[in-house]
Structure 1
Amino acid sequence: MSKKNHQNTQLVSSGRKKAYTHGVVNPVVQRASTIVFDTVADLKQAAKTRGDKTLFYGRRGTTTHFALQEAITELENGAGCALYPCGAAAISQALLAFLKTGDHILMVDNVYEPTRDFCDKILAGLGITTTYYPPTIGSQIKQYIKPNTKVLFLESPGSITMEIQDVPAMVKVANKHNIMTMLDNTYGNGLHYRPLEHGVDISIQAATKYIVGHSDVMMGVAVANEKYWPQLREQSYLLGQCTSADDAYLALRGLRTMAVRLNQHEKAAIEVAKWLEKHELVDHIRHPAFESCPGHAFFKRDFDGSNGLFSFVMKTGSQKAIDAFLDSLTHFKMGFSWGGFESLVTANLTMKGLRSNTGWEHGPVIRLHIGLEDIDDLIADLAQALNIYQKNL
């Protein structure tokens, strides 16, 4: 039986060794800073094997953390998983673990805005340069490679505009030039997309989103292959990255129901998107499962499913119309993040400041996260808000 057929069972069973659960269903919450040792020999052995799932120091983790790391490592089919206090930290610290002054990175142009800010404001100050490349460039990424290029960073689908990248083709080029690859896999979540199986070296997620699933924990994770896991693990430790045992427990609890939640998110989002696609004010849908989304063929080839996140592009608009639209919504709340049980909305009149290589020649973009509310209520909410949008054009 294929890995795909085992995934629901895997989500329920992984990270539940007796050493973590102590005879109950869920791993215990083990909070600790100092780990005490009975003998000098025990202390030396813990220091020697601190890269394994061995109690050493609170920042290295406890059995609660080990259970979560093991579960996510298995989900993403990697060699090891590092935990971080948020998704942005997972991205920034993974990059810092492998970059030094004088290095160059290739960053996809539709990247998550905090990642762009980190490159432009932090890495630039450290003497690390960034080149932004078009998200649909595929194997032609080779034209952007420099002698000092160390990392190719991908995000597929991309933030807001949802372009899907030809990851295998780009990884092939990167490997030829001895460039490591990282991918923000928050959308793919490890259940619907596993980057390491497509040759990517490090898969990063904001576990805040679908892994936790309830908008009450900030957490990031990075899963590496065998080649890069030792360096990611040690550098992240040296950079002081850690999470609380309570948050690790909540992430594990969310993981158990992620498949069920994703099925509902996906079903509802597709139904809402199909309704929007027919609306007279809407130009096109940016949902990976729709042919109107750039890179849709790669989505069909590489992904096992979608989720609740997508965008739609208006034919025309103004800031006044957008503001009126947002203010009139009831079930869709305005707020950052996504992946929780609630429906959310954000909007961009233009993509100014969010791209530097590729332009945006379309109308305003409205991004939705479809939560677990009744679909008819969500559509009715959007219908009345679009009427108000039209009145304010």
Structure 2
Amino acid sequence: MSKKTDPQAGANTRLAHAGNDPHAFFGFVNPPVVHASTVLFPDAETMASRKQKYTYGTRGTPTTDALADAMNELEGAAGTVVVPSGLAAVTVPLLGFLSSGDHVLIVDSVYHPTRHFADTMLTRLGVEVTYYDPLVGPGIAALLQPNTKVVFTEAPGSGTFEMQDIPTIVAAAHGRDAVVMMDNTWATPLFYRPLDHGVDISIQAATKYPAGHSDILLGTVSANDACWERLLAAHGALGMCAAPDDVYQVLRGLRTMGVRLERHQQSALALARWLEGQPGVARVLHPGLESHPGHAIWKRDFSGASGLFSIVLAGGGEKQAHAFLNALDIFGLGYSWGGYESLAVHVQLTDRKVAFAPQEGPVIRLQIGLEDVEDLQADLARGLTAAAGA
């Protein structure tokens, strides 16, 4: 189904054509949406050997292959599995590469549902979990144990946007034969390709920017040559197959992801710079800003920034955070991000174990959508005024 695009082509050209060859299906521009469970075999011998491309719906269809092929091109991966949610994209590889008695290192600024899964399911299954400071850098070597099988990274950090020195972490982990996984949802493979930096498994919540419209749950997991077969086996054993209509919607969203990300990035940086000078804002947590402690790493390794960042209010607590949020008109109050609409949420950091959490005041995470910057700026100004008066 897939026609390879020139790897030297621009991002938007690759997004427009990756994952589908129209001439493989009667010339139609978009791939077919195949709804399937049972697949028929031409004879008993083929059925016994299973020597045909598709054997059962859980093992892939032309629809899932189209999205997986597109992600392989974007990620530079040996293979990609498609799963029903971003969280499933985290849990499937962790379950596939960890066993009872193993040790996993997880960055302390990780997406909270990942932490919940580790602290409940993984520990119950006999996996030892240790959280590390996102600023650990070469110090990660001292945390690796003889039974450390996985190092799980996320950059920038969830909610507080710390940058990690991924190549340094990879070098230390590989020196002890540990697999490195990275949640790369914030940057997408357009702005950062984890596998190019030595990461073994790249994770995306395709719910976010690939889908782009806040109406689909989906995840993708892409692996290098060394890890692909084991990832594929785990995916098959767990039965984590995604619905064809959802897969198709994400594949369609991919076509415009590049131009949407350009707008998200431009608007978010403009608002982040404006917020830095506003009374009532103690800090802006955006790695694309020169003031950010991890800006040098971001500039070295990343080619862009998405539309998600946080601000730290100058003083107060939950009352001020709620006043800020309740005064907003355009920004919705809701979880997730990556859609066309702007969102805001009060970040809870009480679960941090070793990472430093901002102390000046409440942390507000902002998802900058596709609305006009001037309108979003006025909305944020209303929030800051309300917080100051709370």
TM class, shorter-length:
over 0.9
Aligned to 1:237: 236
Q: C-alpha offsets along residues 153-188 of structure 1, whole Å, 9 cap, x if unaligned?
A: 100011000011100111011111111100000012
Aligned to 2:191: 192
In structure 2, relative to structure 1, the CA distance for the partners of 1:14 and 1:86 (3 Å cut) is: same
Is 1:15 matched up with 2:19? yes
Q: Percent identity?
A: 47
In structure 2, relative to structure 1, the CA distance for the partners of 1:17 and 1:43 (3 Å cut) is: farther
In structure 2, relative to structure 1, the CA distance for the partners of 1:347 and 1:308 (3 Å cut) is: same
Q: C-alpha offsets along residues 45-90 of structure 1, whole Å, 9 cap, x if unaligned?
A: 5x356xxxx2110011210110000001110000000111101011
CA–CA separation in structure 2 for the residues paired with 1:19 and 1:85:
29
Is 1:40 matched up with 2:44? yes
The correspondence for 2:368, drawn from 363, 367, 370, is 370
Q: C-alpha offsets along residues 175-229 of structure 1, whole Å, 9 cap, x if unaligned?
A: 1111110000001211111000000000000000000001111001100001100
CA–CA separation in structure 2 for the residues paired with 1:273 and 1:21:
46
- Normalised by the length of structure 2, the TM-score is 0.96
CA–CA separation in structure 1 for the residues paired with 2:38 and 2:23:
19
Aligned to 2:261: 262
Is 1:99 matched up with 2:103? no
Q: C-alpha offsets along residues 233-264 of structure 1, whole Å, 9 cap, x if unaligned?
A: 01111111100111111010000000000000
CA–CA separation in structure 2 for the residues paired with 1:129 and 1:22:
52
Amino acid at match of 2:365: R
CA–CA separation in structure 2 for the residues paired with 1:133 and 1:20:
48
The correspondence for 2:353, drawn from 347, 356, 362, is 356
Q: CA deviation at 1:288?
A: 1.3
Deviates more, 1:135-144 or 1:5-14: 5-14
Unaligned runs of 5+ in 2: 1-5
CA–CA separation in structure 1 for the residues paired with 2:41 and 2:26:
21
Secondary structure of the corresponding residue to residue 235 of structure 1: helix
Deviates more, 1:72-81 or 1:289-298: 289-298
CA–CA separation in structure 2 for the residues paired with 1:361 and 1:257:
35
CA–CA separation in structure 1 for the residues paired with 2:226 and 2:264:
35
Secondary structure of the corresponding residue to residue 325 of structure 1: helix
Tell me if structure 1 keeps the 8 A contact 2:318–2:362. no
Unaligned runs of 5+ in 1: none
Q: CA deviation at 1:296?
A: 1.3
In structure 2, relative to structure 1, the CA distance for the partners of 1:361 and 1:192 (3 Å cut) is: closer
Equivalence map 1:6-155=2 (5 Å): 6-18=10-22, 21-45=25-49, 47-48=50-51, 54-155=53-154
In structure 2, relative to structure 1, the CA distance for the partners of 1:152 and 1:223 (3 Å cut) is: same
CA–CA separation in structure 1 for the residues paired with 2:339 and 2:25:
26
Tell me if structure 1 keeps the 8 A contact 2:22–2:29. no
Aligned pair count reads: 385
In structure 2, relative to structure 1, the CA distance for the partners of 1:207 and 1:36 (3 Å cut) is: same
